[in-house]
Amino acid sequence: MQIMEPAVYEAFHCIGGDCTDTCCAAWEVVVDPESAEKYRQAGGAIGERLRAVMEQDGEDTVFRLQNGRCPFLNQENLCDLYIELGEASLCATCTKYPRFTHVYGGVTERGLSLSCPEAARLLLNPTEPMTFVTHTEEGFPEPNALNPTLYFSLRKVRAAVFEMLQNRTLPLEERARRLCAAGEAVQKTINRRHYAQIDSIGRKCLQADAQTVSLPELPEKQLDFLTETLPRHLKTLLPEDTPGALLASCPEAAVMLEHFLVYGVYRYWMEAAYDRQLLPKVRLCVRLYRLAASLAAQRVREESGLSKEELRKIISLCCKEIEHCSENLEIFSAVR
Q: Where are the domains positioned within the chain? A: 24-96, 140-333
Res 286: pLDDT: 98
Contact 281, 272 (CB under 8 A): yes
pLDDT digits (tens, 9 = 90+) for 47-99: 999 999 999 888 889 998 888 888 999 988 889 998 988 888 899 988 899 99
What are the residues whose beta carbons fall under 8 Å from the beta carbon of 333, sequence distance 6 or more?
A: 280, 281, 283, 284
Residue type, 135: H
Query: What is the largest distance, in Å, between two alpha-carbon atoms of the chain?
Result: 66
Res 88: pLDDT: 87
pLDDT digits (tens, 9 = 90+) for 119-159: 999 999 999 999 999 999 887 888 888 999 999 999 999 99
Res 58: pLDDT: 87
Q: What does the alpha-carbon distance between residue 327 and residue 222 come to, in Å, rounded to a whole number?
A: 10
Task: Examine the pLDDT at 274 and tell me if it is beyond 80.
Answer: yes
pLDDT digits (tens, 9 = 90+) for 302-318: 998 999 999 999 999 99
Q: In what order do the strands lie in the sheet with 54-57?
A: 30-31, 60-63, 54-57
Q: What does the alpha-carbon distance between residue 153 and residue 268 come to, in Å, rounded to a whole number?
A: 15
Sign of the Cα pseudo-torsion (309, 310, 311, 315, in order): positive
pTM for this entry: 0.93
Q: What is the DSSP letter of 166?
A: T
- What is each CA distance from 49 to 27, 46, 81, 83, 237, in whole angstroms? 19, 5, 10, 14, 43
- What is the pLDDT confidence band of residue 116, given thresholds at 50, 70 and 90? very high
How big is the chain by its Cα radius of gyration, in Å? 21
Res 281: pLDDT: 98
